[in-house]
Amino acid sequence: MLSALKSALNQSLAPIGIAVTRVDSHGWNDVANFIPFEQTMKKARTARMSIGDYVDTVMNGAPGMTQNTINNMASVGVFSKPMGTVVEIGPGTGRYLEKTLKAARPPRYEIYETAAPWSAYLVKEYNVISQPTNGYALTDTPDSSADMVQAHKVFSGVPFMATCCYWHEMSRVIGAGGWAVFDVVTERCLTGDALRIWAESGIRNGSYPSLVPREVAVSFFSGKGFTLAGSFIVPMPPGATELLVFKRAG
């Protein structure tokens, strides 16, 4: 009864971009709200894990996956020079943010995050700057001011227009010698049994997973003066995504 009512309400509200949903639930069709804050923090505490380890180990079944990505970034030189400003889009629980702060020690770390409880937590916990977020733009970050902009497991989930707009913004704010680091689900992630696994995953009706041809990303950033410094297939259960690390000529 309740679910029929919700479905009917959502059908009529859809044209004005509003949806009714339980505040303590998270569905694959709601990429802007992320996982519920209170419940996830509580589960991590109960498991006696940091929130980052909880997301890696329990939610993704891939212990150490965040550190592996940081190691991959380090292997192509991302942390070889000091950074002044790092910007992160969609940090969520902050699992990459925490490790980036340790690896790079930037004096300024800005976040653009649509899920308010998580951005408030990150500001309190790590003293980062939460910028007003409209879901498409890095409006409060000046041109050529960032040494790195990163987004992990964000462009593999949001609709294409968000990715497309953020790429232009990354190019605007990253200075000479800076880095653009993000993952997208490319054709390299869709080999073998991948399509069957996604089809059987039960995920329906949302933008996740969002696909981007690899060549489109490489040629866009090449056209803006970046070279591909490295690429890595990383787990994104039940499948995979491709981390692309671009460096702008310095």
What is the Cα–Cα distance from 135 to 115, expressed in whole angstroms?
A: 10
Q: Which of 113, 147, 169, 242 binds ligand SAM (CB under 6 A)?
A: 113
C-beta of 179: minimal distance to ligand SAM in Å? 16
Which of these ranges, 40-48, 151-159, 211-219, 237-245, lies near ligand SAM under the rule CB under 6 A? 151-159
Q: Which is nearest to 187 in space by CA: 245, 240, 235, 247?
A: 240
State in angstroms the smallest separation of the CB of 67 from ligand SAM.
13
Give the β-pairing of 108-112 and 85-89. parallel
Cα gap 167→249, rounded to integer Å: 17
Q: Which of 37, 54, 79, 95 binds ligand SAM (CB under 6 A)?
A: 95
The stretch near ligand SAM (CB under 6 A) out of 38-46, 120-128, 138-146, 152-160 is 152-160
- Using CB under 6 A, which of the segments 12-20, 39-47, 71-79, 106-114 binds ligand SAM? 106-114
DSSP secondary structure letter of residue 131: P
Establish if 181 lies at the interface with ligand SAM (CB under 6 A): no
Size of the residue set binding ligand SAM (CB under 6 A): 24
Distance, CA of 78 to CA of 99 (rounded, Å): 13
Q: Is 158 in the site for ligand SAM (CB under 6 A)?
A: yes
31: tokens are 């990429």
Using CB under 6 A, pick the residue from 10, 32, 84, 108 that binds ligand SAM. Answer: 32
Which span sits near ligand SAM by CB under 6 A: 7-15, 111-119, 172-180, 192-200? 111-119
Specify the stretch interacting with ligand SAM by CB under 6 A; choose among 28-36, 70-78, 122-130, 216-224.
28-36
Q: With contact defined as beta carbons under 8 Å apart, do 100 and 128 qualify?
A: no
User: Does the protein bind ligand SAM through residue 247 (CB under 6 A)?
Assistant: no
125: Cα separation from own chain's centroid: 19
Q: Which H or E run contains 71?
A: helix 65-75
Long-range pairs for 186-190: beta carbons < 8 A, 24 or more residues apart: 186/211, 186/212, 186/213, 186/214, 186/217, 186/242, 187/213, 187/214, 188/214, 188/233, 188/242, 189/233, 189/236, 189/239, 189/240, 189/241, 189/242, 190/239
**Contact string (CB under 6 A) for ligand SAM, positions 210-239, x = contact:** ------------------------------
Contact positions vs ligand SAM (CB under 6 A): 31-32, 34, 55, 89-93, 95-96, 112-115, 118, 133, 135, 152-154, 157-158, 162
